């Protein structure tokens, strides 16, 4: 339990290190290798690759969110900023209109900073960046502006875990909380749904880097997350996600004290019907089997999710 808290980025900004991180991240946009797709387009000049995002971030919405994990929500909600587009593009995405369709509007760094400050003003407990992997430079630039105006909340990196480890390295000293969703263990499943056969290997490497930076989830006296990893895992029909294997890896190679949310809300969305087995919602028995698989692998810290 943490008795006092100061967001890590405040010290990084004070030391001048945030400025160098911004400069390096911005330079990557000129030949973009921010994520494992490595499209190598010049996003600074408006070129776009798989994420369809150029020099500016695109935001669909921002608001206090009360459906997130309990250590994030508290009494006043998690301050979520939903970025449009995505670098992974699961064909079953439950936010398909946002990730694939690009619903949202382009925003400047200053506008993004004002969103953070507005959420803080509303009383949110954190700033929760949803699908941030392709807009790291924009987040860093906006953070600099927001800090100068008084931002002090912890930041949450809410990601698919399809993250380039070098990009995560730029985020050391910036994010206190990582919230990756480890989606698939089988490379063939990742290929079928996301055209990303390397996803399982990338996710394992990314998760290890996140653990190195922030460690296990730590909460304050009110049960609010202040630092560490909160791992998500979406249960798929017929165990197509590979729950037991993922949880075994997490227990043995990340930490036996990893805080895990086993998520039951899968339903067919987007182009899910293109993949055999994904054309139905999961059953209560499948959800319970996933919980038991995680517990059997040694996981003991669970977010308290109920069957819908």
Q: What is the pLDDT of residues 146-196, one digit of tens each?
A: 999 999 999 999 999 999 999 999 999 999 999 999 999 999 999 999 999
DSSP secondary structure code for residue 282 in this structure: P
Residue 307: is its pLDDT beyond 70?
Answer: no
304 — pLDDT class (breaks 50, 70, 90): confident
**How many angstroms separate the CA atoms of 23 and 56, rounded?**
15
Position 305 pLDDT exceeds 70: no
How far apart, in whole angstroms, are the C-alpha atoms of residue 230 and residue 293?
Answer: 18
% of the chain with per-residue pLDDT over 90? 97
Model pTM score: 0.97
Q: Which residues on neighbouring strands pair with residue 57, listed in sequence order?
A: 107
Average of per-residue pLDDT values in the chain: 96
81 alpha carbon, distance to own chain's centre: 11
User: Which residue ranges form the domains of the chain, and what is each CATH number?
Assistant: 8-39+53-302 (3.20.20.70)
User: 223 with 74: CB under 8 angstroms?
Assistant: yes
Burial class of residue 114 in the structure, from the number of CB atoms within 10 Å of its CB (0-12 exposed, 13-18 middle, 19+ buried) = middle
The pLDDT value recorded for residue 5 is: 87
Question: Of 220, 209, 109, whose CA–CA distance to 159 is shortest?
Answer: 209
Asked whether the predicted pLDDT for residue 306 surpasses 70, the reply is no
Q: What is the mean pLDDT of the segment spanning 42-46?
A: 96
On whether the CB atoms of residues 249 and 97 are closer than 8 A, the answer is no
| pLDDT tens, position by position, 91-103 | 999 999 999 999 9
pLDDT in tens, 131-147: 999 999 999 999 999 99
Give the confidence band of 116 by pLDDT, cuts at 50, 70, 90. Answer: very high
Q: Residue 182: which residues within 8 A CB-CB, separation 6 or more?
A: 161, 203, 207, 231, 232, 233, 246, 250
CA distance 26 to 135: 10
Q: What is the pLDDT of residue 4?
A: 77
pLDDT of residue 267: 95
Residue 87 has a pLDDT of: 98
Residue 308 is predicted with a pLDDT of 59
pLDDT above 70 (res 42) = yes
d(CA 157, CA 6): 17
Per-residue pLDDT at 275 exceeds 80: yes
Q: In this predicted structure, what is the pLDDT of residue 44?
A: 96
């Amino acid at each position: 339990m943490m008795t006092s808290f100061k967001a890590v980025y405040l010290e990084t900004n004070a030391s001048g290190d945030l400025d160098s991180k911004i400069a390096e991240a911005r330079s990557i946009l000129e030949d973009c290798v921010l994520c494992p797709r490595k499209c190598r387009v010049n996003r600074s000049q408006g070129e776009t690759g798989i994420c369809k995002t150029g020099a500016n971030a695109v935001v669909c919405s921002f608001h206090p969110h009360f459906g997130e994990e309990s250590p994030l929500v508290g009494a006043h909600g998690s301050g979520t900023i939903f970025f449009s587009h995505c670098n992974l593009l699961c064909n079953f995405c439950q936010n398909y209109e946002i990730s694939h369709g690009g619903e949202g509007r382009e925003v400047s760094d200053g506008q993004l900073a004002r969103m953070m400050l507005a959420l803080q003003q509303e009383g949110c407990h954190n700033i929760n960046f949803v699908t941030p992997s392709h807009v790291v430079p924009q987040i860093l630039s906006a953070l600099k502006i927001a800090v100068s105006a008084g931002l002090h909340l912890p930041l949450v990196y809410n990601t698919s875990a399809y993250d380039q480890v070098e990009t995560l390295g730029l985020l050391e000293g910036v994010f206190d909380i990582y919230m990756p969703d480890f989606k698939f263990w089988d490379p063939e499943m990742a290929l079928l749904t996301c055209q990303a056969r390397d996803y399982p290997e990338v996710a394992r490497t990314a998760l290890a880097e996140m653990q190195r930076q922030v460690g296990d989830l730590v909460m304050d006296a009110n049960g609010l997350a202040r630092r560490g990893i909160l791992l998500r895992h979406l249960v798929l029909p017929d165990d197509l996600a590979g729950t037991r294997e993922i949880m075994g890896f997490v227990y043995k190679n990340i930490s036996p004290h990893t805080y895990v949310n086993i998520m039951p809300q899968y339903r067919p969305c987007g182009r899910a019907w293109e993949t055999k087995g994904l054309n139905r919602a999961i059953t209560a028995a499948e959800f319970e089997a996933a919980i038991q698989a995680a517990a059997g692998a040694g996981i003991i810290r669970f977010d308290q999710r109920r069957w819908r």
